[in-house]
Amino acid sequence: EPEVTQTPSHQVTQMGQEVILRCVPISNHLYFYWYRQILGQKVEFLVSFYNNEISEKSEIFDDQFSVERPDGSNFTLKIRSTKLEDSAMYFCASSEQGLGNQPQHFGDGTRLSIL
């Protein structure tokens, strides 16, 4: 069964450094998402992306965050200058259609630890 893959599985970064999290969505999916889960808290929506544009973003997704689809298969999340509170699990997801009646499929996540 096709799946969303994320790399790396664990990223340790010094505060203030830039980090790029990578995702390969399911190949025939057109809609891409990033979510995060801070330890002990809910999974929270960050951003959605379609047709090389951000479709929607949450208030968490401030100017320090950016997303890109640099080629036909990868989807990346960049945090420009990391803060301690950015430490979390980051999940990439994709869906075949953007309508609410299609499930989003998630990768196994990248654990980001900011020191």
Partner 1 sequence: DQQVKQNSPSLSVQEGRISILNCDYTNSMFDYFLWYKKYPAEGPTFLISISSIKDKNEDGRFTVFLNKSAKHLSLHIVPSQPGDSAVYFCAASAQGSGNTPLVFGKGTRLSVIA
Nearer to partner 1, 14 or 40 (CB): 40
Nearer to partner 1, 12 or 15 (CB): 12
- 61 near partner 1, rule: CB under 8 A: no
- 41 near partner 1, rule: CB under 8 A: yes
Q: By CB under 8 A, what part of segment 19-38 binds partner 1?
A: 31, 33, 35
Task: Give strand pairing partners of 105.
Answer: 94
Terminal C-alpha separation, the chain: 36
Nearest C-alpha neighbor of 2 from the set 27, 38, 30: 27
109 φψ region: left (φ > 0), alpha (ψ -120 to 50), beta (else): left
Number of neighbours of residue 73 by Cβ within 10 angstroms: 11
Binding mask 73-112 for partner 1 (x = CB under 8 A): ------------------x-x-x--xxxx-xxxxxxx---
Q: Are 83 and 17 in contact (CB under 8 A)?
A: no
Shortest approach of partner 1 to residue 105 CB, angstroms?
Answer: 6
Residues that bind partner 1 (CB under 8 A): 4, 6, 31, 33, 35, 41-45, 48-50, 55-56, 58, 91, 93, 95, 98-101, 103-109
